[in-house]
């Protein structure tokens, strides 16, 4: 059995995203993590916040935090999916 690490991924959505699209993205990424072998998935909506600096002409963003257990391969696949989504302006994954 492979050891699973604790990860935290935070991504920032464009401020004009609707609540329905936000929930759809959350469910999509939760399913992706689950399908790639992730466990103990915990999602927190951090809400709309002012950015410290302008990112792609956006001054605000909607923050979503995802905590989960997984491996490096899972993180690589998740970050690739986040990178390809035009609704996400920034993301970061850390290990605990």
Q: Where are the domains of the chain?
A: 5-95
Model pTM greater than 0.75? yes
Class in CATH terms, 5-95: alpha beta
Category of 24 on φ-ψ map: left (φ > 0), alpha (ψ -120 to 50) or beta: alpha
Compute φ and ψ for 64, nearest 5 degrees: -130, 130
pLDDT tens sequence across 37-46: 999 999 999 9
Query: pLDDT value at position 3?
Result: 79
pLDDT tens sequence across 65-88: 999 999 989 999 999 999 999 999
């Amino acid at each position: 059995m492979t050891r699973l690490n604790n990860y935290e991924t935070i991504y920032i959505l464009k401020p004009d995203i609707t609540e329905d699209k936000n929930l759809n993205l959350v469910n999509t990424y939760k399913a992706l993590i689950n399908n790639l072998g992730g466990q103990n998935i915990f999602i927190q909506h951090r809400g709309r916040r002012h950015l410290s600096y302008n990112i792609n002409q956006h001054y605000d963003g909607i923050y979503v935090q995802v905590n989960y257990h997984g491996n490096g391969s899972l993180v690589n696949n998740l970050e690739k999916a986040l990178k390809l989504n035009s609704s996400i302006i920034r993301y970061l994954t850390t290990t605990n």
